[in-house]
């Protein structure tokens, strides 16, 4: 794994990959199913360097895309992660692009789709694909699950993901569920705390919905996952494909987390999980005015997940509102939670909207930094930051600029939160 904030995750980089003549590592995650939900979960688990079995309930991978040319109409700026990887492989593109994704979705050739899927699978030494086997029995052991398949082979697995359309494996596992499930909600209705726990988002019927960690855990028990917390995505509707892939990827990352750290759901660190998803190009916040090709795309994702600006997510259509100004009043309460020193700054500094001189003063104060910040921002204004115009301390700071500079010099995203999205002191 790469670019993770946690040093333990970075150790994965030095783990040797399996090669010919080398004994395969014991699988830790098993994903059952054949469609896009299963593919995304299995691929992400393997990308997270966890040995994974994808047990395909049939002979064909993703049969929903094999019947002929497929056309998918969905909102722009909602494609990301493994789904975007498929689209870009189909287009032979080297980097993700929203406009190109829209074009590809209009005429999805089944052969090109299958070629893209095969290419992605071949890149994953940690993924083993087994086709045409049924699950006969599932037994809970002390810390693992024992699964017997129709070939009579038994797999001892840390985590199981039932990504099949029927969602019937829980009966074999003799799991009883709490029926009090909190359903996914429209993005615009989420509180700041709820936004901090998002792991996926997507479109249903022209509206954007968010998947919080609690929606994932509604279908988890002792390392067994299904999708009862997001049953809306089990419909036979290809328009849901971008959303299904995003949720499958989130479940795959969560199962890999539990297996890798040998831990339980209540111990999952929200920020580590979100970072893992963004490392593999997950689009957790689908801002309609921020293309994935934006040089600061993931800085804006991190800033949004920190929920510093209280009305950032309330605009119709879920827009970042990049050009709007930032007021003292809206950020002071969150700054007080993030940086205790900021209380002193706000006592001595009053105003309506931040000008650059105010903003830089605040950043220097909470970050214990000197004038080198001002000099660096002025130097990098056009060349690296790609801001328009020229640096002027008297100018007002836009939301876009505020987010990028905050992420670069104060990084609110690294402030720990619990699974309810509240800051941990």
Strand pairing category for 220-221 and 224-225: antiparallel
Give me the count of residues in the chain.
Answer: 425
Distance (Å, whole) CA 190 – CA 305: 12
Q: Which residue has the tokens 């360097």?
A: 49
For the chain, the distance separating the N- and C-terminal CA atoms, rounded to the nearest angstrom, is: 29
Question: How do residues 329-384 score in pLDDT, each as one tens digit?
Answer: 999 999 999 998 899 999 999 999 999 999 999 999 988 888 899 999 999 999 99
Please answer whether residues 395 and 381 qualify as being in contact, where contact means their C-beta atoms are separated by less than 8 angstroms. no
| Per-residue b or e along 124-158, where b marks 16 or more CB atoms closer than 10 Å to that residue's CB | bebbbeeeeeebeebeeeeebbebbbeeeeebebb
Global confidence as pTM: 0.91
Tell me if residue 322 falls in helix, strand or coil. Answer: coil
What are the beta bridge partners of residue 156? 146
Q: Which residue has the tokens 């993703």?
A: 62
CA atoms within 13 A on the CB side of 310: 9
Tell me if residue 424 falls in helix, strand or coil. Answer: coil
What CATH number was assigned to the domain covering residues 24-182+214-282?
Answer: 3.50.50.60
* Cα torsion angle, 268, 274, 275, 279, sign: positive
Delimit the domains of the chain by residue range: 24-182+214-282, 296-414
pLDDT on residue 22? 34
Report which of 225, 383, 421, 206 is spatially closest to residue 305, judged by C-alpha positions.
421
Tell me if residue 224 falls in helix, strand or coil. Answer: strand
Q: What are phi and psi of 22, to 5 degrees?
A: -110, 135
| Per-residue b or e along 262-275, where b marks 16 or more CB atoms closer than 10 Å to that residue's CB | eeebeebbbbbbbb
Low-confidence ranges of the chain (pLDDT < 50): 1-23
Please answer whether residues 145 and 224 qualify as being in contact, where contact means their C-beta atoms are separated by less than 8 angstroms. yes
pLDDT on residue 167? 93
pLDDT on residue 14? 32
Please answer whether residues 198 and 211 qualify as being in contact, where contact means their C-beta atoms are separated by less than 8 angstroms. yes
Please answer whether residues 155 and 53 qualify as being in contact, where contact means their C-beta atoms are separated by less than 8 angstroms. yes
Residue 60 CB neighbour total at 10 angstroms: 14
Q: Alpha carbon 43 to chain centroid distance?
A: 14
**Residue 159 contacts by C-beta under 8 Å, 6 or more apart in sequence?**
28, 29, 30, 145, 223, 224, 225, 255, 256, 258, 259
């Amino acid at each position: 794994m790469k670019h993770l904030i946690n040093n333990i995750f970075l150790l994965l980089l030095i783990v040797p990959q399996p090669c010919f003549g080398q004994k395969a590592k014991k699988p830790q995650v098993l994903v059952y199913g054949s469609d896009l939900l299963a593919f995304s979960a299995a691929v992400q688990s393997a990308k997270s360097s966890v040995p994974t079995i994808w047990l395909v309930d049939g002979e064909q991978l993703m049969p929903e895309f094999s019947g002929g040319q497929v056309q998918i109409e969905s909102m722009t700026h909602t494609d990301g992660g493994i789904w975007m990887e498929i689209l870009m492989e189909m287009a032979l593109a080297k980097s993700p692009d929203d406009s190109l994704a829209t074009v590809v979705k209009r005429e999805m050739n089944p052969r090109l789709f299958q070629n893209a899927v095969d290419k992605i699978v071949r890149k994953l030494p940690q993924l083993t694909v087994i086709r045409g086997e049924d699950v006969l029995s599932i037994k809970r052991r002390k810390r693992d699950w024992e699964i017997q398949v129709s070939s009579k082979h038994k797999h001892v697995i840390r985590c199981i993901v039932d990504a099949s359309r029927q969602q019937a494996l829980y009966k074999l596992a003799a799991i009883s569920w709490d029926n009090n499930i909190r359903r996914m909600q429209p993005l615009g209705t989420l509180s700041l705390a709820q936004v901090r726990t998002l792991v996926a988002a997507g479109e249903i019927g022209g509206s954007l919905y968010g998947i919080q960690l609690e929606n994932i855990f509604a279908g988890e028990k002792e390392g067994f996952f299904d999708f009862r917390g997001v049953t809306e995505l089990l419909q036979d509707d290809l328009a849901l494909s971008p959303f299904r892939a995003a949720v499958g990827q989130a479940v795959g990352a969560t199962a890999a987390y539990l297996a890798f750290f040998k831990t339980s759901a209540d111990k999952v660190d929200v920020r580590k999980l979100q970072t893992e998803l963004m490392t593999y190009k997950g689009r957790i916040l689908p801002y309609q005015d921020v293309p994935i090709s934006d040089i600061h795309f993931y800085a804006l994702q991190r800033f949004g997940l920190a929920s510093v600006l209280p009305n950032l997510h309330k605009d119709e259509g879920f827009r970042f509102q990049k050009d709007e100004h930032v007021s003292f009043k809206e950020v002071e309460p969150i700054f007080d939670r993030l940086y205790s020193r900021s209380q002193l700054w706000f006592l001595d500094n009053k105003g309506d909207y931040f000008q650059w001189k105010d903003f830089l003063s605040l950043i220097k104060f909470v970050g214990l930094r000197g004038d080198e910040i001002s000099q660096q921002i002025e130097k990098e204004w056009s060349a690296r930051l790609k801001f328009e115009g020229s640096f002027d301390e008297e100018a007002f700071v836009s939301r876009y600029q505020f987010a990028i500079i905050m992420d670069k010099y104060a990084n609110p995203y690294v402030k720990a939160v619990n699974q309810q999205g509240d800051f941990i002191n």
